[in-house]
Homo-oligomer: A and B are copies of this chain.
Amino acid sequence: MRYAKGHKTTTRKGIIEVASKRFRKEGVEGVGIAALMSDAGLTHGGFYAHFDSKEELFQEAMAHALDQTQEKLTRLAEADGGGLEAMIRDYLEPWHRRCPERGCAAASLGADIARYSRPTRVVFEKKLEGLIALIARHLPRGDRHMRRRVAIAIFGTMMGTLQLARAVADRRLSDQILESGVEAALNLARGPET
């Protein structure tokens, strides 16, 4: 073989890495195969040796992005003085509004995912379950079912407020949205009996 063993796998990972960033930043329709491949240092013709279709790449890229988010939030939660509050605060920091390409794919692609095929939504669902479980694990109180319900709502609040913060034009309002989101997510985490 004229390429080192594992070379193709490396290339494939590179394409996924690039796609996961650009899809989050520009949207799935906002970036084409040719641009992605060129970003990965290749020409567009080789694409179909790695993926069956753009949608298959999208699934992989979305999964990769959500894994990264899961890892980052896990790291934050487990750090000293971390916990759920660290996750919530980091998710709703200005860096996240500014850098969708390094952020949560649910927030940057959520409205689109709803319109994709079932297999794509299954992939999303699996990763979402991971995030929900992570949040649930760090809730201070409640039985398993209640923690799960609260975790779902906290993630919905985080994702929704981040998206709103990105969608408005005024910086001040956007800051206010992020702050409101933090406050609300923390309130939900504390539970109604505080």
Contact A121–B168 (Cβ < 8 Å): yes
Contact A167–B110 (Cβ < 8 Å): yes
The reply on A30 being an interface residue by CB < 8 A is: yes
> Size class of A's contact patch?
35 or more
Contact B167–A113 (Cβ < 8 Å): yes
Q: What is the oligomeric copy number?
A: 2
Query: Closest Cβ of chain B: how far from A128's Cβ, in Å?
Result: 6
Neighbour of A156 across the interface among B113, B114, B149, B160, CB < 8 A: B160
Contact B30–A115 (Cβ < 8 Å): yes
Interface mask (A108-134 → B, CB under 8 Å = 1, otherwise 0)? 111111110010011011001100000
Contact B112–A169 (Cβ < 8 Å): no
The reply on A83 being an interface residue by CB < 8 A is: no
Inter-chain CA distance A188–B192, complex, in Å, is 9
**A contact set with B: CB distance below 8 Å:** 26-27, 29-30, 100, 106-115, 118, 121-122, 124-125, 128-129, 148-150, 152-161, 163-164, 166-170, 173, 176-177, 179-181, 183-185, 187-188, 190, 192, 194
